[in-house]
Amino acid sequence: MRAEAAGPLPATRPVVLGTVIGMTLALASPARAEPSLSALDAPSLTTGAGVPEVGGDLAPSGDASGVPGPSGPFALPPTANTGLIRLDAPDFPYGALAPPPGEPGRGWNVTPSLGLQLLATDNLDLSRRNKRSDFVTSIIPGLLLSMDTARIRGIINYAPSIQFHTAEGERNRVDQRFNGQVLLTVVPDEVFLDIRGSGATQAASGGYAQQGNTVLGRDNRIQTNTVQISPYFVHRFGGLATVQVGYAFTAVQQDLGSNGFGGGANSGAFTPSGQRYFTDQDFTANEIYAIGRTGEDFGPLALESRLAATSYNGTGVLDGAYRRIASMQARYAITHSILALVEGGFEQQRYAGVPGIEISEPVWAFGGRVNFSPESWIMAKYGHRDGFNSATVDAVIALGGRTQLFANYAERLTTGAQRAVDLLSTTTLDEYGNPVDAATGAPSAQPLTDSLLGVQGSLFRIRRGAVSVSQSWPRDRISLTLSREERTPVSIQVGTAAFSQRGTSASLSWAHELTPATTAIGNFQYGRFTTPGAGKGDVLSASLTLATQLRRGLSAFAQYAVTSSRDDFVSGRALQNVVLVGLRQTF
């Protein structure tokens, strides 16, 4: 679930009201997000504790942060958010935001809030045979902290949900939900400290609507907490080159059935046939890296070299694992709008599990980018990495003045716990602390809140693609999203079973401003899946929400949602009705 907004709410923005009620809707962010931490244009996927693959686009020249980007093929059109400064790299920790030297910031803004939600359901577990009603009271304290000074910039949104069940008291729990990204300038223009973190929950079994107010018992809920700290040094040699050296420490914890603070009591998640497919996961990662890039003196040609080494200390397939890569990329600006790239290098990877995985082989890729306008572009490449050939695509295309299309596709060799780090590295935060895709500016489909597929602890090759179209009008916003994800096990955690999974989903969202203070939001989701907790099946979910601002700082909402699902293990369909009302007061 998307973190809730905690600040005073402009009554005229249905986008904000959608955020207040904590709904994960595609309409809950602007068509072209203007994140408060960075204005990154096209990052690549990460490869470990935060090292991005070669191929991310870099910032324009003349960056006032002291790390100017080149004026040749790495230069990008300026983003709409002109008040932001971009460092000379596309993604974390290289793309962190820094204030211009000597420029005074806007200071600190602390917005506490308190929310109350009342939920009634006639089928707590979305069951076909054992329907149980319950009434759930949730208390949601919130703290939205934004910082913008000459030395520190960032945003932190912490909104834990404390839940009390009337009929099922043993299910009382605390869901930790937070997002934060903070950059400290230690030495102006040279030394920085980047700190990031997130916390979210999802269904262990899968078989639920992709995003939304999923009602889960404690024994079927996985809490994922991630923290990453990276100090780094940057130095520019005039227009010749820029060098960056850094270190990143990462800690990730995934707990099943915990009370929100770790230490889950369960021994794992099991299929109805008794096969265990998930046990609690945790790891720490230590990474060192060095990057060198040519500057504007090279004209239309740009070169970039990267060295990175990440070692893991954790459970399951990450016990003693490592990732190491050395690569070189060359880009050439054929025209002002067309860029070509080629890259090569060598990688080594190791994972525990059955079978043990060791990769030691060359990596390569070729591709390019086409800029249609400052707000419309496509970047694609094809290459060999992680032991297989694959393609990567990121695109945002303006279809007229009111319609935008977002698209992305990528393949990864990764685990569920490592995807938590990828989320930190490939997203930035909007003004309310909600993650948005740093490549396209689209609302982020967080893998740690997606409950369509089950959560497994093994190593997988994951293919994921998504296309969304959004249209904005003065009083309406409509979004349609289609996505597909396939997971193939590569190395199985000892003591568990691993299963291939597939999921195809579609969602349609529509927000309509009824009055300057009141907005109606409709959401429809449908997904087909194969997942270890439910076999093959499908799930359909629809909701209607009315959100209003009662007075400055006080908002209210009411929602009705219905979910219908089926799977292979029990015949028939399960039906769940949910009524949810809530209040939130900001101070």
Instruction: Please state the domain count of the chain.
Output: 1
> What are the Cα distances from residue 362, in Å, to 326, 351, 365, 385, 461?
9, 18, 10, 8, 18
Q: What does the pLDDT read at residue 219? A: 75
Identify the H or E element spanning 284.
strand 281-294
- Rg of the chain over Cα atoms, rounded to whole angstroms, equals 23
DSSP character for 183? E
Of 163, 12, 174, nearest to 582 (Cα)?
A: 163
The domain spanning residue 426 has which CATH number?
2.40.170
Give CA–CA dist 134/261, Å, rounded.
24
- The answer to whether position 274 is within a domain reads yes
Q: What does the pLDDT read at residue 217? A: 66
- The answer to whether position 125 is within a domain reads no
Give CA–CA dist 440/298, Å, rounded.
28
Residue 9, classed as helix, strand or coil, is coil
Count the residues in the chain: 587
Q: Are 202 and 451 in contact (CB under 8 A)?
A: yes
- Residues with Cβ within 8 Å of residue 152, at least 6 apart in sequence: 182, 183, 184, 185
Domain that holds residue 449: 14-113+134-586
Residue 17, classed as helix, strand or coil, is helix
Of 422, 377, 365, 381, nearest to 404 (Cα)?
A: 377
Residue 222, classed as helix, strand or coil, is strand
Give CA–CA dist 536/525, Å, rounded.
17
Of 395, 329, 334, nearest to 364 (Cα)?
A: 329
Token representation of residue 76 = 């990008």
Give CA–CA dist 454/535, Å, rounded.
10
Of 356, 332, 339, nearest to 491 (Cα)?
A: 356
- The answer to whether position 166 is within a domain reads yes
- The answer to whether position 8 is within a domain reads no
Q: What does the pLDDT read at residue 14? A: 29
- The answer to whether position 523 is within a domain reads yes
Give CA–CA dist 288/280, Å, rounded.
27
Q: What does the pLDDT read at residue 448? A: 72
- Residues with Cβ within 8 Å of residue 219, at least 6 apart in sequence: 256, 257, 266
Q: Which residues, given as ranges, of the chain have pLDDT below 50?
A: 1-104, 260-265
- The answer to whether position 71 is within a domain reads yes
Place of tokens 């907490």: 225
Express each pLDDT in 324-358 by its tens digit. 999 999 999 999 899 999 999 999 999 999 999 99
Burial classification of residue 83, based on how many CB atoms lie within 10 Å of its CB (0-12 exposed, 13-18 middle, 19 or more buried)? exposed
- The answer to whether position 560 is within a domain reads yes
Express each pLDDT in 98-129 by its tens digit. 333 444 456 888 889 999 999 999 998 888 88
- The answer to whether position 120 is within a domain reads no
DSSP character for 435? E
Q: What does the pLDDT read at residue 65? A: 29
